[in-house]
């Protein structure tokens, strides 16, 4: 299953936000700080994902990682 699975960009962004919190990848405060600087977007959340885990996209996480 692909990360986006037919979702809109906003739905993908919101899913990414919740998933990162649930998995403990970043705290809400960390994500708020970065999003306040770079904008609240899926691209920004993928930047956080990369900085914290080394994965470049949520699709890559779904393909390679076992969470």
pLDDT at 66 over 90: no
Do residues 17 and 45 make contact, with C-beta atoms less than 8 angstroms apart? Answer: yes
C-alpha 38/C-alpha 45 separation (Å) is 10
Checking if the pLDDT of 6 tops 70, the result is: yes
- What digits encode the pLDDT tens for the residues 16-61? 999 999 999 999 999 999 999 999 999 999 999 999 999 999 888 8
Provide the residue ranges of all domains of the chain, joining segments of one domain with +. 9-64
Instruction: Indicate the burial class of 60 (C-beta count within 10 angstroms; 0-12, 13-18, 19 or more).
Output: middle
């Amino acid at each position: 299953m692909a990360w986006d699975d037919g979702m809109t960009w906003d739905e993908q962004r919101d899913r990414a936000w919740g998933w990162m919190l649930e998995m403990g990848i970043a705290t809400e405060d960390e994500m708020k700080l970065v999003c306040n600087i770079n904008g609240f977007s899926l691209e920004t959340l993928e930047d956080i994902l990369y900085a914290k885990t080394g994965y470049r996209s949520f699709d890559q996480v779904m393909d390679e990682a076992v969470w």
